C-alpha cells in the first residue's frame, strides 16, 4: 500500500511532502480540475499530498466558537417548536403548574421510554397517569397492580423501581420531588445520569445537558466523533459537549429538541440530512458534500484518496482519540452514518424452557388455566407464568420427561409423559437472553384420574382467559396461550372433516413448524 507522506504546518508556513508530482499533460489537467474544488487547500489527489491541521486536534471535535453555539441553539429550537411530535408527556410538562406533578409526569415517561419505542409507550403512559396521577397514588398501589399495568412493556424492574421511588418520596420527603439532577440521581432508584438530567431540565429548568443514544448520534455526526461511545472517557466527552451546547434559557426544550432530532431526522440508517436544521454545523455532512464535489470534478479512481484539510484532524495517524480509528476509516458509501462508531454487542446467551399450559374445565364450561408466580427477584420478578422448567444445556432431548416430573408439584400425581401434547415453540428475545419456550398442553380431568383436585398449590391460581389477559404475565406467556388456543380451534374444526381415531387427532400443524397431536376425547 502506498504511504501518504505527511508534512507539518505552522501558522506562518505550510509544508508539503509529495510522493509524485504530475508529469504528463493528462496528470497536469487532472491537477488543474482538482484545484477547482481544492484551491483554498492546495490539495491535489494525484500528488498524494495531505496537509496536517494547524489547529490542535481536539478543537475539531468541540464547539469553541460562541457565535456558532448561539446559531446552533437558535436553529435547533426554531425547528423543534415547529416540528416536534405531539406527545402526552410533553403536554403535561408544558401545562402542569405544580412542579412536583410535572416532575412526576416526566419521570414516568423517561422510565417508560428506556429501551422502548415512543409508539409502544404512549398507551401505557396514558393508562398509568389515569390510574396513578400523582406520587401519592402510585405509593398506595401494590406491586401486583403495577406489574399488571406494565405487562407487555418489558424490562419489568422499571415499574417496580418507579413504585419504590414513589413510596420513598412520600414517606421520606412528604411527596416532594428532588429539584436537581444530582439529588434525583442520588435519591431515586433506577434513575441514572441521563434520566436525572432530563427530569431536572424539563421539569425544573436546570441548565444541564443530557446524553442518550439519540444525542450521541447527533453529536458524533455534528463533530465527527468516531471514537467508541461505549468508552467511559469518550462518554464524558459527549457529556461535556451536551453541557456546552444546552440553551440556558430553555434547557428542557433544547434537550428534548436534541433527542427529537436524533429520533426523527438524524436517524441511525437513513438520516434526512436535507431536512436537518443544524446541517450547517455538521462536520460529517460537510465531508459528504465535499466528497460529492470532489467525485464530480475528478475521475472515480481518484475519489477519496485523502480528504484531510487544514481545518481537520488527521485520523490516518491514529493520534486523535476522537477520530475514526485507522482500523475503521471513513467509508464513502456510508456517508454520515460512518458516525457514530458501531459498538460490538455482546451476544445473548441461549436458553431453553419447557412450559406447560395446564387447562381444566369448570361449571360454566369456560376453561381455566393454572398460572404460578415467579420469584420476587431476578428475571421477570413477581410476574405470573404457566408452570415452566428451565432446561439445562444438553438436556433438551429429555425435556418432556423433565417437564412431566416437574408438573407433579402442580397436579398432585405423576404425569404420564405421553399425556403431554407438544404445541410448538415461542421465541422471546431479552436484552441478554435468547429464550426459546417449548410449549406443551395438558388437559386436566378428575374423572380420568390425572389430577388431584385437593392438592395445595404454592403461589398459584386458576384463571379464565380474560383473567389471564389482565394478569401480570409476560408477552411470551400470552403468545404461549395464543398458540394453544389457536391449535385447539384448528383441531376442533378438523374433527368435523377428519373424524377421530382412538380419541386423538394427528394434525400437521405447519403454523407451529411441527406436527401437533392433541387429545380431544
Helices 157-173 and 143-150: angle between axes, nearest 10 degrees: 140
User: For residues 417 and 190, is the Cβ–Cβ distance under 8 A?
Assistant: no
Annotate 438-453 with b (16+ C-beta within 10 A) or e (fewer): bbbbbbbeeeeebbee
Q: What length is written for the chain?
A: 521
Main-chain dihedrals φ then ψ at residue 500, nearest 5 degrees:
-120, 155
Element of type H or E holding 434: strand 433-444
Q: Return the closest-CA partner of residue 436 out of 378, 354, 365.
A: 354
CB atoms closer than 10 angstroms to residue 71 = 14
| Residue whose grid cell is 499533460 | 25
d(CA 180, CA 184): 6
Does residue 447 carry a catalytic annotation?
no
Selected catalytic residue, list 2, 29, 110, 368: 110
Q: Which three cell numbers stand for residue 228?
A: 467508541
d(CA 422, CA 427): 15
CB-neighbour burial class of residue 456 (10 A; exposed 0-12, middle 13-18, buried 19+): exposed
Q: Which three cell numbers stand for residue 232?
A: 467511559
Q: Which three cell numbers stand for residue 502?
A: 382412538
Residues with active-site annotation: 110
Amino acid at each position: 500500500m502506498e504511504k501518504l507522506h505527511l508534512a507539518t504546518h505552522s501558522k506562518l508556513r505550510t509544508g508539503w511532502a509529495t510522493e509524485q508530482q504530475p508529469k504528463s499533460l493528462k496528470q497536469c489537467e487532472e491537477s488543474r480540475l482538482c484545484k477547482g474544488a481544492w484551491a483554498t487547500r492546495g490539495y491535489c489527489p494525484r500528488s498524494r499530498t495531505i496537509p496536517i491541521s494547524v489547529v490542535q486536534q481536539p478543537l475539531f471535535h468541540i464547539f469553541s466558537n460562541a457565535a456558532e453555539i448561539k446559531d446552533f441553539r437558535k436553529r435547533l429550537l426554531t425547528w423543534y417548536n415547529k416540528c416536534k411530535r405531539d406527545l402526552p408527556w410533553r403536554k403535561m410538562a408544558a401545562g402542569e403548574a405544580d412542579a412536583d406533578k410535572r416532575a412526576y409526569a416526566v419521570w414516568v415517561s423517561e422510565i417508560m421510554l428506556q429501551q422502548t419505542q415512543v409508539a409502544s409507550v404512549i398507551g401505557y403512559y396514558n393508562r398509568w397517569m389515569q390510574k396513578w396521577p400523582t406520587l401519592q397514588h402510585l405509593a398506595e398501589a401494590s406491586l401486583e397492580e403495577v406489574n399488571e399495568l406494565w405487562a407487555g412493556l418489558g424490562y419489568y424492574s422499571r415499574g417496580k423501581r418507579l413504585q419504590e421511588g414513589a413510596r420513598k418520596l412520600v414517606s421520606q420527603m412528604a411527596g416532594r420531588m428532588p429539584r436537581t439532577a444530582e439529588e434525583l440521581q442520588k435519591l431515586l432508584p433506577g434513575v441514572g445520569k441521563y434520566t436525572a438530567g432530563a427530569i431536572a431540565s424539563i421539569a425544573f429548568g436546570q441548565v444541564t445537558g443530557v446524553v442518550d443514544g439519540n444525542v450521541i448520534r447527533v453529536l458524533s455526526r455534528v463533530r465527527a466523533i468516531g471514537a467508541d461511545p461505549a468508552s467511559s472517557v469518550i462518554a464524558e466527552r459527549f457529556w461535556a459537549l451536551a453541557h456546552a451546547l444546552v440553551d440556558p434559557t430553555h434547557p428542557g426544550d433544547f434537550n428534548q429538541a436534541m433527542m427529537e432530532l436524533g429520533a426523527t431526522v438524524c436517524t441511525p440508517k437513513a438520516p434526512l440530512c436535507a431536512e436537518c436544521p443544524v446541517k450547517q454545523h455538521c462536520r460529517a455532512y460537510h465531508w459528504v458534500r465535499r466528497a460529492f464535489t470532489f467525485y464530480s470534478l475528478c475521475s472515480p479512481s481518484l475519489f477519496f484518496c485523502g480528504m484531510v484539510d487544514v481545518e481537520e484532524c488527521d485520523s490516518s495517524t491514529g493520534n486523535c482519540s476522537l477520530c475514526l480509528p485507522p482500523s475503521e476509516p471513513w467509508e464513502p458509501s456510508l456517508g454520515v452514518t460512518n458516525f457514530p462508531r458501531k459498538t460490538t454487542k455482546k451476544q445473548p446467551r441461549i436458553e431453553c424452557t419447557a412450559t406447560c399450559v395446564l387447562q381444566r374445565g369448570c361449571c360454566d364450561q369456560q376453561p381455566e388455566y393454572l398460572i404460578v408466580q415467579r420469584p420476587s427477584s431476578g428475571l421477570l420478578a413477581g410476574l405470573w407464568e404457566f408452570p415452566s422448567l428451565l432446561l439445562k444445556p444438553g438436556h433438551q432431548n429429555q425435556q418432556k420427561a423433565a417437564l412431566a416430573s416437574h408438573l407433579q408439584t402442580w397436579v398432585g400425581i405423576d404425569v404420564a409423559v405421553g399425556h403431554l401434547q407438544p404445541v410448538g415453540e415461542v421465541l422471546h428475545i431479552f436484552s441478554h437472553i435468547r429464550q426459546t419456550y417449548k410449549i406443551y398442553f395438558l388437559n386436566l380431568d378428575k374423572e380420568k384420574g390425572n389430577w388431584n383436585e385437593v392438592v395445595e398449590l404454592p403461589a398459584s391460581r386458576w384463571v379464565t382467559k380474560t383473567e389471564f389477559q389482565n394478569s401480570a404475565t409476560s408477552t411470551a406467556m400470552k403468545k404461549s396461550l395464543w398458540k394453544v388456543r389457536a391449535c385447539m380451534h384448528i383441531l376442533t374444526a378438523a374433527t368435523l372433516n377428519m373424524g377421530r381415531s382412538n380419541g386423538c387427532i394427528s394434525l400437521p400443524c405447519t403454523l407451529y413448524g411441527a406436527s401437533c397431536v392433541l387429545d380431544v376425547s
